[in-house]
Amino acid sequence: MQRTEVVFSLEEGDGFKEKLLLWAQQHTEVIWLDSNNYKHLYPTFDAVLAVDALTAIKTDYHHAFDDLKEYQTTTADWIFGYLSYDLKNDVERLTSANTDHLGFPDLYFFQPKKIVFIKGNTAKFCYMPMVDDEVEEDFIHIRKTAVEGTTPPERIGKEDIKARIPKEAYLQKVEQLLAHIRRGDIYEANFCQEFYAVNSSFDPVPAFFRLNAISRPPFAACLKLEDKYLLSASPERYLKRTGNQVISQPIKGTARRAETPEEDRKLKEELENTPKERSENIMIVDLVRNDLSVTAKKGSVRVEELCRVYTFEQVHQLVSTVAAEVEDSVPSVEILRSTFPMGSMTGAPKISAMKIIEQLEVTRRGLYSGAVGYFTPSGDFDFNVVIRSILYNKANDYISFTVGGAITGESDPEKEYEECMLKAAAMRKVLEE
């Protein structure tokens, strides 16, 4: 279906992004993706908003990738949505037996009637024919939307946010993972813990503005699908396809930021040169290379960057970039199926790690450590990794955020717990302060 495209010039400093996302909340389906101007991480656009579903697919994990493949090829249009971690059960003979408190569908994609792409000082409105007479009126309404005076994020008391796994239990579970590593069952596992608040409500969009301002990540996402919300400050790309080129950018290895430039530089150098942090990253790079090779042209998988330090507002991270070429005929959904879930959120060997972490974690991950993104009409795609995120079920007033880290043979349980608290800091700050 041909879309009508209209390009508007934007005035610098008029807060158009914030106005656009606030205006979008009138719709039932909303996805906002923002690169926060990270030009060196292969962005296609600065930001994009998709709203108002013409069609949608919402399903559990059973045959989910087959259903998505049919939906994506049939629509042959822009579709936006997410893959939850529990789609692992469609890819392998696995189960998700832990409790799910959030109730997000395992997979949700929609074909938006209205898309707005922001690049530089322009906004390109791409509307379907049945709504293209609303472009000018929508642009005027967006420009008039008030950002100042919007409801500030409601605060949740520190005592209301609870750990699903108490610290002592967390330390014991890391010891159990270390025992598995010593036995040779696995050599790395991403182990996660949930923090949550019950009977708690808040205004998601102002909270997202605050989270994004604190973190300024390259793969930020704000998602509203019916009564379910995701506020994501993700620094990590899962997978991107552009034509026959595919890239993955796993993150493993974290260090805190410091207050002084000298100390900050020292922490950055330590991260880059610490054997444990580098080994975490390299193990996952090997896993990603193996996953990409399933659909790649023979001999085309290559590591373009290995353990490069990227500095974000909250933390320094080790990021690697793995690239591959695929034949034009390879379906995009098959590339996702053969690499999902992303290795940075599982461990290695992947299937063994997923089985073990399922036993030790106590809540279902759901959308956390899944992926949010889009397909283009030609089948290109780009997906983040859902980390550093707040999930909210408005219907039952349940708020959740999960953090985790890579456990290897060199891991110290106390230090792993400290790393989790470091990763949780931005979400806590948004909810508590």
Domain 4-432 part of CATH 3.30.43.10: no
Instruction: Tell me which amino acid residue 33 is.
Output: L
Residue with tokens 């049939």: 74
3-state secondary structure of 16: helix
Cβ neighbours for 298, distance < 8 A, ≥ 6 positions apart: none
At 314, phi and psi to the nearest 5? -95, -35
3-state secondary structure (DSSP) of residue 46: coil
User: What tokens does 416 get?
Assistant: 């792993």
Nearest partner of 297 among 322, 258, 276, 328, judged by Cα: 328
List 229's β-bridge partners, or say none: 224, 392
CB atoms within 10 A of CB 358: 17
**DSSP result, 239-293:** EEEETTEEEEE-EEEEEE--SSHHHHHHHHHHHHH-HHHHHHHHHHHHHHHHHHH
- Residues that are catalytic: 236, 252
All structural domains of the chain with their residue ranges: 4-432
Within 8 A by CB and 6+ apart from 377, the residues are 76, 77, 78
For 308, residues 6+ apart whose C-beta sits below 8 A from its C-beta are: 318, 319, 320, 321
For residue 223, which of 368, 372, 400 has the smallest C-alpha distance? Answer: 372
* Residue whose C-alpha is closest to residue 76's, from 326, 331, 330, 376: 376
Amino acid in the structure at residue 273: N
Could you list the pLDDT tens digit for every one of the 433 residues in the chain?
A: 799 999 999 988 789 999 999 999 999 999 999 999 887 777 789 999 999 999 999 999 999 999 999 999 999 999 999 999 999 999 999 999 999 999 999 999 999 999 999 999 999 999 999 999 999 999 999 999 988 655 555 667 777 899 999 999 999 999 999 999 999 999 999 999 999 999 888 899 999 999 999 999 999 999 999 999 999 999 999 999 999 999 999 999 989 899 899 999 999 999 999 998 999 999 999 999 999 999 999 999 999 999 999 998 888 999 999 999 999 999 999 999 999 999 999 999 999 999 999 999 999 999 999 999 999 999 999 999 999 999 999 999 999 999 999 999 999 999 999 999 999 999 999 998 6
Q: What is the DSSP string of 84-131?
A: -GGGHHHHSS----SB-SS---SEEEEEEEEEEEEETTEEEEEE-GGG
Q: Name the DSSP letter for residue 66.
A: H
